[in-house]
Structure 1
Amino acid sequence: MQTNFDIAAQFTSSREGLYQNNRFDAGNWTSGVMGQGNLVGTMRGISAPVMVRWLGDASMVTTAVMQAITEDDFTAIARALYWRAVNGDQLPSGVDLLLFDFAFNSGVARASKQLQRVLCLDAPQIDGDIGEDTLEALLHVPANTMAWALNDRFRRRLQDDVGVASDGTIGPVTLQAVQAQAARLRVLIYAVASQQEAAYRSFRGFAQYGGGWLARLNARVDAAIRLLTAPDWT
């Protein structure tokens, strides 16, 4: 399958800042716990614990090392630790960017398990590993099975997209329009996005940072839909 990594990485990079050093952010500490390890900051969205994982030795991760993370470093880390971790090359266009950016922003396991839950996999298959079972489900799980995961605003957005009354109820008329327009993957994108929104709203920092998180989600969904409908979009 043709990879969209460059497009996804560009999207993510454009939403991450440069160097910051905030002692009240656990991602700025090499241990991943506030007050433990060394306070070295973050750069281009690469947290201190991720840099420890990348270099394999916490003692190597210093403020100077974090400040020196280049765009090429970002790309290498993003491909190895996030894109490959969500099996991005095997995901449908649009779904790949949606999963990758949320994984980079909020964790690979959370992003992968959300997808598996939306696909209604059995409990033992919801393991955060996007392997054969998940990829098979991506091909065959019908829209009505995934519709449970849509929140109200994405139900209405889906209905607007397929040209039916946006009443927020996914019934036979909406599902028939989805089938007629081959919009099953659009349902999947909106369903996963609904779960990503729920996760953001559950985070402790939502009151302070939620506006930015939801703006990033909206941009992520728009980019995913563009990729879905125009796979060569840049």
Structure 2
Amino acid sequence: MALPLIAIAASLVPDLLRLIAGDRAGAVAEAAAEAVRQAAGTDEPAKARAALEADPERMGALRIRLAEIALEGARVSAEREAGQRAAELDALRAALSDTQSARASMAEMLRGGSRLAWGPATVSSLVVIGFFAVLILLVTMPGGTGSLDPQVASVINITVGSLGAAFAAVVNFWIGSSQSSRDKDAIVGRLQEVQARHVQEAMTTLRETAPVPLRPVSVLSLPRVAEDRFDACLDEVLKAEGGFVNHPADPGGATKMGITRRTLSEFRETEVTDEDVRALTRAEAREIYRARYWTPMRCAELPAGIDLMVFDFGVNAGPGRSVRLLQRCAGVAADGSIGPVTLAAVRACRAPDLIARLAEGRLSYYRGLEGFAHFGRGWTRRVDGARQAALAMASEAPPLSLAA
């Protein structure tokens, strides 16, 4: 099993992780890894990730394939769980039916005057008397069972265990069987309700993981358009971030083009100095922004203008917070992960309205921060600048078509 390739698949369709964890046969994991392998054309995780990030069209096709795999895995899992619950329900019904049949047979023999009808009552009486007699004997025995020979004590323990099981069976036969059929039906009904609820949850999962119908786009122009939009959004972000700063009130410390010392260290996988931050090039900053913000937040799949609002806030306050704000503004569950449901909800919104809601939500977040008194004016200007640029992008976005 190619675990690194599965990690790439899970980053594109997070619901795969839950399905892979519950798939003992490993079919979902194998299918996901094979889909990544075919899309990227390599087994090496680093090369596969680079190939996908460099080709948005290929990444989009892979995401659709992974969503199909997740859909099929969820369907199989739901069917398997439904079968298990049905088997448990049948077993319970059979047990209740057996008990009811035994009681009905005894009643029939009583009506016919058969002496065999007294058999269950006689056996039950002997079991109850024997159980309590042994119990009283053990309680009143001087010194308890500790003073007895080990073999005798072992026999007594076995006897008590057997009588206990027999006593439980007697109680279940007489008291359990004397319950009305309405009570039994209620038990079965509750199990059916649980089964129906689980099936409904499974169907919800299927709907959540289903791929969103894609709008018709130009296959030839998609990669270039995505790159142009990324560069346009990055230009707006860099206008707000500026050059090298090392403000003592900024917890991020040394920063250049919005890239903090910690972020640069994580990207290079080695500790860096303030001077390393000062020497950061635009080309490296561009790759950092793509890898840490643009791609994880799936900005290339968002409508023009919305991509800038999500991207800029993610850079300033974190990708998770930006995605959750987008989901709240679009009216879907704010789980911090953009999937088919979020994309469909965003595309159903009017871009100017959604941009306005994102701007207001971002300002509300800033107003709740302790540093608003010091940085509030700059944050407000940044939000207003991003809003105006986003509205311009949304109004200038060309309609997508099949033409190249």
TM-score (structure 2 length as normaliser): 0.41
Deviation at 1:24, TM superposition (A): 3.9
* Aligned twin of 2:124: none
| Superposition pairs of residues 4-19 of structure 1, within 5 angstroms | 4-19=229-244
Give per-residue Cα distances to partners, 1:151-206, cap 9 Å, x unaligned: xxxxxxxxxxxxxxxxxxxxxxxxxxxxxxxxx22111111111011011111111
Residue among 308, 314, 320 paired with 1:97:
308
Q: What is the distance in 1 between the residues matched to 2:363 and 2:321?
A: 12
Residue among 186, 194, 202 paired with 2:368:
202
1:129 is the counterpart of 2:340: no
Whichever of the two has the greater Rg, that structure is: 2
Let me know the Cα RMSD of the aligned residues: 1.5
* Aligned twin of 1:26: 251
The one-letter amino acid of 2:331's match is C
Q: What is the distance in 1 between the residues matched to 2:337 and 2:279?
A: 32
1:192 is the counterpart of 2:403: no
Deviation at 1:23, TM superposition (A): 4.2
Relative contact order: is structure 1 or structure 2 higher (C-alpha 8 Å, sep ≥ 6)?
1
* Aligned twin of 1:77: 288
| Superposition pairs of residues 133-152 of structure 1, within 5 angstroms | 133-140=341-348
Give per-residue Cα distances to partners, 1:30-72, cap 9 Å, x unaligned: xxxxxxxxxxx11111012211221123x3x112211110111
Q: What is the distance in 1 between the residues matched to 2:261 and 2:289?
A: 14
Residue among 325, 330, 338 paired with 1:114:
325
Q: What is the distance in 2 between the residues matched to 1:65 and 1:188?
A: 39
> 1:94/1:207 Cα in 2 relative to 1: closer, same or farther (>3 Å)?
same
Q: What is the distance in 2 between the residues matched to 1:20 and 1:54?
A: 19
**Matched position secondary structure for 1:26:** coil
Q: Is the 8 A contact 2:303 2:347 kept in 1?
A: no
Q: What is the distance in 2 between the residues matched to 1:210 and 1:118?
A: 22
Q: Is the 8 A contact 2:261 2:274 kept in 1?
A: no
Q: Which runs of 4+ in 1 moved over 3 A?
A: none
Larger helix fraction of residues: 2
Q: Is the 8 A contact 2:325 2:361 kept in 1?
A: yes
Give per-residue Cα distances to partners, 1:94-124, cap 9 Å, x unaligned: 00011111111111111100011112213xx
Deviation at 1:20, TM superposition (A): 2.1
Q: What is the distance in 2 between the residues matched to 1:18 and 1:47?
A: 11
Number of residue-to-residue matches in the alignment: 173
**Matched position secondary structure for 1:116:** helix
For structure 2, the residue ranges without an aligned partner over 5 or more in a row are: 1-221, 399-404
Kindly, what percent of the aligned residue pairs are identical?
Answer: 32
* Aligned twin of 1:218: 384
For structure 1, the residue ranges without an aligned partner over 5 or more in a row are: 29-40, 143-183
Q: What is the distance in 1 between the residues matched to 2:239 and 2:353?
A: 26
Deviation at 1:90, TM superposition (A): 0.1
**Matched position secondary structure for 2:245:** coil
Q: What is the distance in 1 between the residues matched to 2:336 and 2:262?
A: 20
TM-score (structure 1 length as normaliser): 0.70
* Aligned twin of 1:149: none
Deviation at 1:131, TM superposition (A): 1.8
